[in-house]
A and B are shown apart, each in its own frame.
Chain A
Amino acid sequence: MFEISNLTLSVNNKELFNNLNLKINSGEIHVLMGKNGVGKSSIAKAIMGDNNYKVDGSIKYNGKEITKMSISDRAKEGIYLLNQSPIQVEGVTNAEMLRLALGEKTGKNVNIFEFSKELEKICQDLELDKSFIHREINVGCSGGERKKIELMHMWMLKPSMIILDEVDSGLDVDAIKLVGNSLKKYYELYKPTILIITHTASILNMFEHYKVHLLNNKGIILTKDESFAKEILDKGFKKILEEYDTFVISEN
């Protein structure tokens, strides 16, 4: 289970959220939706341990407090962030990075033959040329290629919780389908916990059952089932938030 309790999140002395709460049972898919700039990606980065964010409160994964853990220890616990804009790492190849990461995770030397075979199969499934295995991470790659490379890393590292931060941004329809199918296949195979952060929701077509949380600058204000995503897309954030304000006033 993944649980955020009474979380206060700030960056550069500016408070983004106060008393944020979120609970996701193992194997569930949850979606965070909200307008641009509301702080969705900040939540993803804070979960991963980005030092630019000051965090007060608790983040637990599988019963373990991870709030004070380093980024790499959180990753070793099984949390994986699929970045909105993966950065390029000059001088470090995908194979080199993955060998090192797997070696640290398992505490054993990586069997090069099996490692290469698995990577080649993943590249084939992702329609990614095999040459990417020995290329520098994301260097000279298009937005679509970078997302596929992040998926390649995910398939190799086999995380138990995945945070998808605007994974559909900058992708054409075919790429969204391919990325979505890959994520769906991974979900069916390994049943990870998934937190999807999106404002366009195009990736959600790939999943059947999930919970949708609406986020504004106060935190999560509404949680409903998957039909809520369609409602938000149909009405728009502005109208949904106005309806919510009217509802709150009438309740009071």
Chain B
Amino acid sequence: MNKLLVSDIIDIEKGEYILNCQKKDLTINIKGEVTIYLVNELLNKLKIILTRDSVLKLYKFNKEINEDLEVDIIQNDCSKIFYNEAFINNSKHKLIINNLIKGNNNESIINIRNISNKDLSKIIINVNIEKDTINNIALEDLKGTINGGFIHIEPNIVASSNDIKAEHFTTIGGLDQSLIDYLMSKGINKENCKKILLKGFIFSNMDNYILKSFGGD
């Protein structure tokens, strides 16, 4: 795993990187197969450009977020992005992701998990597939758990091509009482049941590195 101190623009080719951001605006150009971890980084603007045949797995985790973020993702031909973001908000927060799919044979999978402890969390995901393109895949899996706050999710997919597979799943809700009851029946008090269920939820789209590094908190 490589640790990189990054300024405002970076080109990345192949490998796994933990990015430590110096500024709140960041542009990343991806070539080859890349995994990026952005942990507790507070960005306002993130731009990701995927070149032909590139694959990006991105894991973005914020234990507490208080900065609005706008993400622009641009895909050309034959690229794949697995965008995984999980965050907890204790104040008003907005996340906007604009994913533009320009060429053919691209795949975009966007997984978001949010626990809203206080105030409104607004999540707007816009995936736009340009016309005259073929064989593109777009999937949005957006889940929010209300834990004292509010959540508003807009899953938008605009497809101007008829050769596309596009799906979105969105769920917002509180913790399932039957799960709390089940864990309580093993002798765990209610507060701890809620804690482990929330922890399980927030890490459900993160990989082992994030889970091992931050799962104990």
Binding site for B on A (CB under 8 A): 48, 50-51, 70-72, 74-76, 80-81, 83, 86-87, 89-92, 96-98, 100-101, 104-105, 136, 153, 157
| Per-residue interface assignment for chain B, residues 153 to 189, with 1 indicating a CB less than 8 Å from any chain A CB and 0 otherwise | 0000000000000000000000001110111111111
Binding site for A on B (CB under 8 A): 177-179, 181-190, 192-193, 196-197, 199-201, 203-204
Known: A80-B185, A104-B189. 7 other contacts (CB 8 A): A71-B185, A87-B178, A90-B201, A91-B197, A92-B183, A101-B186, A104-B187
- Of the A-B pairs whose beta carbons lie under 8 Å apart in the complex, a sample of 15, sorted by A's number, is A70-B189, A71-B181, A72-B184, A75-B185, A75-B187, A76-B187, A89-B197, A90-B204, A91-B197, A92-B196, A100-B188, A100-B196, A101-B186, A136-B200, A157-B186
**B181–chain A nearest beta-carbon distance, Å:** 6
**B189–chain A nearest beta-carbon distance, Å:** 5
**A164–chain B nearest beta-carbon distance, Å:** 14
**B214–chain A nearest beta-carbon distance, Å:** 14
How far, in angstroms, from A104 to B203 measured CA to CA in the complex? 24
Q: Are A48 and B197 in contact (CB under 8 A)?
A: no
Other-chain contact of B196, A75, A86, A97, A105 (Cβ < 8 Å) = A97
* Complex contacts, B184 vs chain A, CB 8 Å: 70-72, 75
How far, in angstroms, from A142 to B177 measured CA to CA in the complex? 23
* Complex contacts, B179 vs chain A, CB 8 Å: 87, 89
How far, in angstroms, from A235 to B185 measured CA to CA in the complex? 36
Q: Are A90 and B178 in contact (CB under 8 A)?
A: no
* Chain B residue with the shortest CB-CB distance to A100: B188
Other-chain contact of B182, A76, A80, A89 (Cβ < 8 Å) = A89
* Chain B residue with the shortest CB-CB distance to A138: B182
Q: Are A75 and B203 in contact (CB under 8 A)?
A: no
